[in-house]
């Protein structure tokens, strides 16, 4: 089923892991897909070539999420190439841990700029181009609402901020038929948090289903929310975490 035929999607941080899986899934559902990446040009090009090899349209743009003007340039380029934007997936982010008293102002600003401000700026840039039925999907975290270990305060702050932003923007954009939702992944088998990593067993013991998720699990939920099947869901938090926060 190609539920996104004729749609144009932008996925930030789409070169690897969850972002790459989302890009592939949206393309498989029929969407034209653009991704951003920071330094992983080779990985981004691989994702693009995979999509193109199946007949899809795909583009990759280098973009630093801490750069105020970068996302405006990317959105303009996507609109010029694809003719518009229907779906924005705010996936790009960083995960840095450590005691708050050992962080400096630059650390705090970097986390807020990339995990929060960049989401706001990308959404602001896309809104003028969204038609009725547009979609904004933010990628949060199971750590936004429950923090089981020390050293995660700053990261949890940034992801919990996205909950309020999602709900507020859903209210703002509801009149034009645009939905805004947030997906909270739990432990997901990526190079950032491998299922065979040193801390994996402790995480696995807290997951109700007993195993890590895959990037494709997150991508499937994003594709559902992006499709017409998700047309009456907005301002919602969708946990795709194997039950770690039950």
Q: Active-site residues: which are they?
A: 155
Pairing assessment for the beta strands 179-185 and 8-11 based on DSSP bridges: unpaired
d(CA 59, CA 165): 28
- 87-90 sheet: strands from edge to edge: 58-62, 32-37, 8-11, 87-90, 135-139, 179-185, 237-240
d(CA 29, CA 175): 26
d(CA 109, CA 71): 18
> Is residue 226 a contact partner of residue 219, using CB atoms and an 8 Å limit?
no
Three-state secondary-structure class, residue 192: coil
Contacts of 141 (CB under 8 A, 6+ apart): 155, 156, 159, 184, 185
Nearest to 14 by CA among 5, 26, 23: 23
> Is residue 89 a contact partner of residue 222, using CB atoms and an 8 Å limit?
yes
Q: What angle do CA 164, 37, 110 make, to 5 degrees?
A: 50
């Amino acid at each position: 089923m190609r539920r996104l035929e004729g749609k144009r999607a932008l996925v930030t941080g789409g070169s690897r892991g969850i972002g790459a899986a989302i890009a592939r899934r949206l393309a498989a559902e029929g969407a034209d897909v653009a991704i951003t990446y920071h330094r992983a040009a080779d990985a981004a090009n691989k994702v693009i070539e995979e999509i193109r090899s199946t007949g899809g349209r795909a583009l990759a743009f280098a973009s630093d999420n801490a750069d105020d003007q970068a996302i405006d340039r990317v959105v303009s380029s996507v609109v010029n190439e694809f003719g518009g934007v229907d779906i924005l997936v705010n996936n790009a982010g960083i995960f840095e841990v450590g005691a708050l008293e050992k962080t400096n102002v630059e650390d705090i600003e970097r986390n807020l700029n990339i995990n929060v401000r960049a989401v706001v700026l990308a959404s602001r840039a896309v809104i003028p181009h969204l038609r009725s039925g547009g979609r904004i999907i933010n990628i949060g975290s199971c750590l936004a609402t429950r923090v089981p270990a020390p050293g995660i305060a700053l990261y949890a702050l940034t992801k919990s901020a996205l909950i309020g932003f999602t709900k507020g923007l859903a209210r703002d954009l509801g009149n034009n038929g645009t939905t805004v939702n947030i997906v909270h992944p739990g432990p997901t088998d990526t190079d950032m948090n491998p299922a065979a990593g040193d801390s994996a067993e402790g995480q696995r013991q807290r997951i109700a289903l007993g195993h890590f998720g895959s990037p494709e699990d997150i991508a499937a939920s994003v594709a559902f929310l992006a499709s017409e099947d998700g047309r009456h869901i907005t301002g919602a938090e969708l946990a795709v975490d194997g039950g770690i926060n039950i």
